[in-house]
Structure 1
């Protein structure tokens, strides 16, 4: 029981990090108006954590050396709280971005260390299920983050919403301090260990397709709030409900995905990437049909829930002798892709409008699935 409670505490840690990362997606227009920046510039609140996480993941894992991973997780959780507190009192948009840099450091370190812990805590037989529970925190964060940002940002303001996230982070750190056992590092990590990951052919393939699909996802998802409100003309309350449905569907997709991944890791990824890509391409054309848009939005969440699990298990099974190194490299690549995707979406939304953002994002995701299907041999 204590083992699974420890796994759940890591899932909660993942949830608060993802919640904090994507809270601004729900209130981009509010920040844009209050701090006098354009909608595209406000999207930097998603880009900056991704970019700093990409840089931080290898630096944190190497700099931590032999530090007990339990202590490391607790420190990173407190850094999430500090980031939220700073954002809640930020007088300028620059200070908000500085707070988001701190969040990026926490993201990079957390996701470099935590994914391999599912197998360490639950053992090889239950490791995949433990990992799926931890990664369900990704979708759980979406359940909280997107609707909380959209609803609370409207009701109590984006500053109070950030402050509430800081309080939640502190509570989760307190629970982890009680539940997590000591987790030795298993040895110091060096940059040479990280470089070896790139020498594995299939690891390189996973990194490439993971980066491409993530660019497609976040070029579109960063600007989903204005799409639902402006293009699909949905009421704010209905958009909040849809965000909740999107996140819940993502949890279902991640938990059910453990069975699909057990059958075929690569085909789970291929099917998911191509399917949600098609959904994105068709969303703008169907924006005049709110019921159809609502259904497709939830389906998008369900399918996307499969992608992180497929990528993590692909990476861990491709490089079984270097779990922390491969997790750190994958996290750096994916976070960099989040930053690139958010930047691409910002450029497109400011220059060509919301519809093109979703069409381009969908095409990119489909390309990722096609590349993975061609390079599937050896996985």
Structure 2
């Protein structure tokens, strides 16, 4: 499509109506891709007993299908993004979705744990690269003034997966079989693949296509700060949220039958926070990140202090959902602004930090819960979030105007 957004200056001009529509349809396809990858990443959580029985392994071993997935994505995001740096972004997305579909369909027919693990690794390899380029691609598809809105639309797939993707996948797997659940997420990938083929214009690669650029972008102090903030705040979130079910049951006294409803409410609150962030981040990036991480620390501390108060604990859970969802939009926007000429390389470090934080947070939370119950996870998570807010303040004071958070 000759009139597509392919250059740095193109977003400034007013594209034809058809081009603009196709650009936003491509952005919607990327959002569906985020929804699909997040759903696939967490799908085994609700199906662990069935998967363990079906593959003759323990539940703990089956759980490695989730933690191992995150580890592979974290370890490979940066190098694979660099190695694919010269590919046209449209055809890279098409290739990633082919891997995604193939991996999930392989999982759907797997009868052994080893084959299922191989299938998960195939999807995890695509996962890291997809996350590294998705937002950078999205902001090239729309006028520059809509970049933050496009970011919030794409990352809205995270909250939507929490609301609909993972619960529906679990329900399908429990009512039929876990094989059918993997077929369904594979079909989702086919829709994303179709959207990329139909609506995505040719997008020539930008930046350098070598592993050396990964080290070069780390010379930017603001990027190091962004990676540090991401590691702290996301470790804190997953440290507490991974064990929020035992917290609500044992500390707050919520009936098991209501946990699903509360997690649904958390996801809906996340959708609200995600799109609210689109309006706020563009105007006050640094303030929104400091406020979001600082308020998250307060919310988690309150949950630690008054967990027995059902009304207050549930209210804080809703606030948690809103605040958490604002952070990926702000953090991803910050990363894209720090090194605009190598945005995908910078994003790959962000993806590695994010996925690494999932594993680190869940590990620390598990150790705390085993040792002292789920309540202390809230206080330790609050400390992580507070540390992120402090790092944001300090980095804003020490960075140069070009690399500071915000404008």
TM-score, length of structure 2 as denominator length:
0.83
Which is worse superposed, 247-256 or 232-241? 232-241
- Partners of 1:118 and 1:128 within 8 A in 2: no
Structure-to-structure mapping, 1:1-379, within 5 angstroms = 1-28=21-48, 37=58, 43-91=63-111, 93=113, 95-149=115-169, 151-186=171-206, 188-229=208-249, 231-283=251-303, 286-377=306-397, 378-379=404-405
- Provide the secondary structure at the position in 1 that maps to 2:219: coil
- Provide the secondary structure at the position in 1 that maps to 2:202: coil
State the 1:87 CA deviation.
3.8
- Partners of 2:207 and 2:342 within 8 A in 1: no
- Partners of 1:47 and 1:340 within 8 A in 2: no
Distance in structure 1 (CA, Å) of the matches to 2:255 and 2:239: 23
Aligned CA distance change for structure 1 residues 282 and 307 (closer, same or farther; 3 Å): same
Which is worse superposed, 157-166 or 259-268? 157-166
Distance in structure 2 (CA, Å) of the matches to 1:169 and 1:86: 13
Distance in structure 1 (CA, Å) of the matches to 2:304 and 2:170: 21
Distance in structure 2 (CA, Å) of the matches to 1:133 and 1:333: 22
Aligned CA distance change for structure 1 residues 82 and 246 (closer, same or farther; 3 Å): farther
Distance in structure 2 (CA, Å) of the matches to 1:89 and 1:106: 20
Paired position in structure 1 for 2:5:
none
Aligned CA distance change for structure 1 residues 258 and 208 (closer, same or farther; 3 Å): same
Aligned CA distance change for structure 1 residues 306 and 240 (closer, same or farther; 3 Å): same
Which is worse superposed, 108-117 or 356-365? 356-365
State the 1:216 CA deviation.
1.0
> How many pairs were matched up?
378
State the 1:57 CA deviation.
1.4
Aligned CA distance change for structure 1 residues 45 and 281 (closer, same or farther; 3 Å): farther
CA deviations 1:137-168 (Å, max 9, x no partner) are: 22222222343355445444544333322222
Distance in structure 2 (CA, Å) of the matches to 1:376 and 1:265: 11
Aligned CA distance change for structure 1 residues 233 and 33 (closer, same or farther; 3 Å): farther
- Partners of 2:89 and 2:137 within 8 A in 1: no
Distance in structure 2 (CA, Å) of the matches to 1:370 and 1:176: 40
- Provide the secondary structure at the position in 2 that maps to 1:189: coil
State the 1:96 CA deviation.
4.3
CA deviations 1:173-195 (Å, max 9, x no partner) are: 22332121122113551122221
Paired position in structure 1 for 2:18:
none
CA deviations 1:325-348 (Å, max 9, x no partner) are: 111121122222222222323333
Which is worse superposed, 302-311 or 139-148? 139-148
Aligned CA distance change for structure 1 residues 178 and 6 (closer, same or farther; 3 Å): same
Distance in structure 1 (CA, Å) of the matches to 2:62 and 2:274: 30
Larger Rg: 2
- Partners of 2:86 and 2:205 within 8 A in 1: yes
- Partners of 1:231 and 1:287 within 8 A in 2: yes
Aligned CA distance change for structure 1 residues 219 and 156 (closer, same or farther; 3 Å): farther
- Partners of 1:25 and 1:225 within 8 A in 2: no
Aligned alpha-carbon RMSD (Å)? 2.7
- Partners of 2:97 and 2:189 within 8 A in 1: yes
Which is worse superposed, 62-71 or 339-348? 339-348
- Provide the secondary structure at the position in 2 that maps to 1:121: coil
- Provide the secondary structure at the position in 2 that maps to 1:181: coil
Aligned CA distance change for structure 1 residues 280 and 27 (closer, same or farther; 3 Å): farther
